[in-house]
Amino acid sequence: MTIVEIFSVLYQFADVFAFLILSAAGLAIVFGMMGVINMAHGEFIMCGAYVTVALVHGGMPLPIAQLLGAVTAGIVGVIVEVLVVRRFYKRPLDSLLATWGLSLIVTQGMLILVGSSVRGIGTPPGSFMVGEYTFSVYRLILFAGAVGALALIYFVFMRTRFGTLARATMQNANMAQALGVRVGRVYALSFGLGAGLAGLCGALYAPTMTLIPTMGSTFIVESFVTVVVGGANVLLGTAPAGILLAAIRTTLNAWQGQIIGQIGMLVAVIIIIRLLPEGLSGFLTRRQR
């Protein structure tokens, strides 16, 4: 194998890894930490993408539009938490149903309001050559975005005061409240952060894909699967889960094509859950002891 081929494989791996991590980052907080099965996760992604595209059409530079797309999704997330999700922390299955209902309303409502497709904005140009192959720069930006999202989650939850309060609340809300943490606000902000990261995913992928109101469903399987394989400790589990699944998928993609890649990844997930019911983070923490 030449260096060029190795780079090409790494590039494809990075592409899949970025997709998995970016789709899963928001859900890692909302589902992995807070325990809310957010079936509307894909709709937050869609929200970020649509806001980005609308702003770019309005003449805003792409990076700022993407940032605002993520922020908008985050704000919507806080509103949704206060209005709906808040009631269901003790009833996880009901939170699933409620957010699924929400997801149906939003996707179909968007179909009525905006129609089935929106003019795209096109991938930012820019490519580089390695050997005789051309690679898109934007795909590397996506990879950087994924690493950035992981770093952001780590920084917020491990290095800030808010993160400490949030982790305390997730572990034992009553105790945290007794110690003076405003639990409601912590939940709302955490959910908002998760929704914002979902929006960031949509914003980053907006230039590369066709915008349709149902686009969220292309992300939802990957996001849940990554979080589930990662296990309960999202700070520890999400990144290795992304690496493992991306490795499986890249190999199968190269060997048998996209479809086998997707199906093979799912089969792998079912086997991984069969072998490691607590996910990768459960496996890793057990090894440490």
Q: Which residues bind another protein (CB under 8 A)?
A: 37, 84, 87-88, 91-94, 96-98, 100-105, 107-109, 111-112, 214, 217, 220-221, 224-225, 228, 259, 262-263, 266, 269-271, 273-275, 277
CB nearer to another protein: give 65 or 118: 118
CA atoms of 108 and 217, how far apart (whole Å): 13
Strand ranges for the chain from DSSP E: 127-130, 133-136
CB nearer to another protein: give 9 or 260: 260
Least spacing, CB of residue 111 vs another protein, in Å: 5
Tokens 């795209």 sit on residue? 120
CB nearer to another protein: give 12 or 103: 103
Phi then psi for residue 211, to 5 deg, are -90, 115
CA atoms of 18 and 144, how far apart (whole Å): 8
Three-state DSSP class for residue 45: helix
CA atoms of 211 and 47, how far apart (whole Å): 11
CB nearer to another protein: give 111 or 178: 111
Least spacing, CB of residue 218 vs another protein, in Å: 9
Tokens of residue 183, six digits: 């639990």
Least spacing, CB of residue 174 vs another protein, in Å: 22
CB nearer to another protein: give 6 or 263: 263
Look up residue 265 and give its amino acid.
M
127: Cα separation from own chain's centroid: 26
CB nearer to another protein: give 199 or 213: 213
Least spacing, CB of residue 91 vs another protein, in Å: 7
**DSSP code for 168:** H
Least spacing, CB of residue 171 vs another protein, in Å: 19
Least spacing, CB of residue 63 vs another protein, in Å: 31
Are 233 and 285 within 8 A, CB to CB? Answer: yes
